[in-house]
Amino acid sequence: MSSTETGSAWRLERDSDDIVWLTADKPATSTNVLSSPVLRELDALLDQIASAPPRGVVVSSAKKSGFVAGADIKEFTGITSPESGYRLIHAGQQVFDRLEALPCPTVAAVHGFALGGGLELALACRYRVAVGDHSLSLGFPEVQLGIHPGFGGTVRSVRLIGVRPAMEMMLTGKPVRAQQALRLGLIDRLVPQGELRSAARQIILAPPPPHRPNLSERALSWPLVRSVVQRSLVSRVSQKVRREHYPAPYAMIDLWAHYGAHGAVAFEAEARSIAQLFTTETARNLIRVFLLQDRLKAAGGKATVPLEHVHVVGAGVMGGDIAAWSALRGFTVTLQDRELKYIEPALGRARELFEKRLPDPAKVREATARLSADVNAAGAAQADVVIEAIFESLEAKRELYATLEPRMKPGAILATNTSSIVLESLAEGLADPGRLVGLHFFNPVPQMPLVEVIHCALTDPADGPDRARRCGGPRCCRARGGDHRHRSRPPRPQSHPPARARGARQARTQERRRVLSLEGRQARQARRRLRGAPAARSDRSADSRARQRVRRMPARADRGRCRPHRCRRHFRDRLRALPRRTPRLRAGSRRCRRGRAAGGARRPLRRPIPAGFRLGAGHRRLRRAPGREVIRGS
């Protein structure tokens, strides 16, 4: 006998073995999120289960994409005060506490992703089984929103796997994969897709002892040890961010240091802490960025025309990365350049990208097989989109288009990665100027989640931008507004400036793009050069700093052994290579301890005494003072 009850987001089923199957299936969405109505419905079902305890409870998901993605981020925008944030978080904590307190065994059957609140839901269960494939992803990405886990994650994760791996997951926000999750104890058993339900059933019928971290991890949470570990964690975090700019990592460390992940007070402190973080400027801005990215992906939509083959011309940094990214997205890609030796480095970088992004070696081999070199441009005839990524030259691009367009099949799109040449100028001479669009990727391509889709008055609005947007992936968008990079460039006059002026302008554009990729002191120096401003004091050359350092040295070295970094004489060789305006030091200067001869005698001055210059007997500049002689310069 089995009975089934269906709600709006949860489905409860009790089978013949008296096992309750709680299945999350939020309607009208592709993923499950823990919004307030979903949590209230789960709370009501847990009340029903607690009134008649079954043999066990299995929590699973009916979505093909994964388990639970976490809390509903949109609800965070309605938090106006720490008190309202506390009420939202505390309600979720009570639901998870009720699940954890059930008298029967509870199992989370996970497939795909379990992130944020989804992983906290799994941690509230006594056991966890998962599908051990490449799609499994478990993590706490809350720190990327300027907050930390709030439904008990900061407490239960430390209890389950120990403080070091738990803090690594929460402080970095990086997910863990199948084998690593099993090794840490985050997952009790990895099974194939078809055996997930049977594995959960076996654990309910014969429950093993729950996982516990080893003694060395448990010892780190002892009161006398926590302060030492806290200093180490704070030191690591302070090298990345400052507390006043990014308080969430420090808040997680402070919670563990004060309460050690023990007792109900730790959960209460977690709720109060995240409620305060909700109202910080850091969290508000990061949540806004997340929602804007979500809007951007939704506005991109799906292409209405097929796109399977991409042909990229130019195997440089941009062209090679565009080809690698397209192959990673599942397209068949051919990469063209003048000779094979220019394409081979791009293929090597592409394989490194595949190995980094695809944990499954079989997936790496498939992605590598989709990308091939094409010196003779044979792939242009089968390509649905041809992307030009050569150097910024109007004449060179027109010559390339003249050879590519006759080979392209009807309906294929010609896209350019230019950032400084207008489409109207590039479209001159094309038999079908309507097929030309701009598809501007940002460097580095795999890391910048943004693509600029440009069209002009000549572009065919039927499917040109649509195909280009699909080639760029979910990072592209054609929607209009202030939160994206889509633009339409107005036509410019046909008269062009002289070639020398165009070359100078293109050089400045390339220099500005290079400056944008720099960081730290190099970026400051480059920006000052572009503005024509003098170099800052902190940006002076190494030789200039060396001269200043020598001038600040003491008149006499310390007693005892000479220290080279405090002695002028040891800078002699370096100073000789400096400009003549820097005064050279005489060998055997009195400021160097090593310049003294045995018995305290000083070496003679190499520069002769000027004529008419008188030194008294026993003068300190003489090597010796025999008697009361007076020495006159020659």
Place of tokens 């120096």: 525
Condensed to tens digits (0 to 9), the pLDDT of residues 498-556 reads 444 455 666 666 666 665 656 566 666 766 666 555 545 444 455 555 555 545 555 44
Is the per-residue pLDDT at 633 higher than 90? no
CA–CA distance, 24 with 112 (Å, rounded to integer): 14
Catalytic residue among 311, 440, 484, 486: 440
Question: How many CB atoms neighbour CB 209 within 10 A?
Answer: 5
Between 223-238 and 247-259, two packed helices, what is the crossing angle to 10 degrees? 170
Strand pairing partners for 415? 387, 437
The pLDDT value given to residue 226: 92
Strands 10-14 and 3-6: antiparallel
The half-sphere exposure of 118 on its side-chain side, counting CA atoms within 13 A, is: 27
Q: 536: which 2 tokens?
A: 């800052």
Strands 66-68 and 113-115: parallel
- In which band, very low, low, confident or very high, does the pLDDT at 560 lie, cut at 50, 70 and 90? very low
CB 96 within 8 A of CB 90: no
Condensed to tens digits (0 to 9), the pLDDT of residues 343-395 reads 999 999 999 999 988 878 889 999 999 999 999 999 999 999 999 999 999 99
Query: b/e for 325-342, b at 16 or more Cβ within 10 A?
Result: bbbbbebbbbbbbeeeeb
Q: Give residue 33's identity as a one-letter amino acid code.
A: V
The pLDDT value given to residue 136: 93
Give, as one character, the DSSP assignment of residue 9.
Answer: S
CA–CA distance, 27 with 31 (Å, rounded to integer): 9
Query: b/e for 370-386, b at 16 or more Cβ within 10 A?
Result: bbebbbebebbeebbbb
CA–CA distance, 282 with 267 (Å, rounded to integer): 23
The pLDDT value given to residue 608: 52
Q: 564: which 2 tokens?
A: 């080279």
The pLDDT value given to residue 569: 53
CA–CA distance, 616 with 603 (Å, rounded to integer): 18
CA–CA distance, 470 with 374 (Å, rounded to integer): 23
CB 122 within 8 A of CB 110: yes
Q: pTM score, two decimals?
A: 0.68
Cα distances from 499 to residues 428, 503, 581, in angstroms, run: 18, 6, 43
Instruction: Please indicate whether residue 440 is annotated as part of the active site.
Output: yes
Residues in the chain: 634
Q: What is the DSSP string of 223-290?
A: HHHHHHHHHHHHHHHHTT--TTT-HHHHHHHHHHHHHTT-SHHHHHHHHHHHHHHHTSHHHHHHHHHH
- In which band, very low, low, confident or very high, does the pLDDT at 209 lie, cut at 50, 70 and 90? very high
The mean pLDDT of 209-229, rounded to a whole number, is 91
Cα distances from 157 to residues 126, 170, 185, 390, 525, in angstroms, run: 12, 9, 10, 50, 45
Give, as one character, the DSSP assignment of residue 360.
Answer: S
Is the per-residue pLDDT at 335 higher than 60? yes
CA–CA distance, 354 with 320 (Å, rounded to integer): 13
Q: Give residue 527's identity as a one-letter amino acid code.
A: R
- In which band, very low, low, confident or very high, does the pLDDT at 5 lie, cut at 50, 70 and 90? low
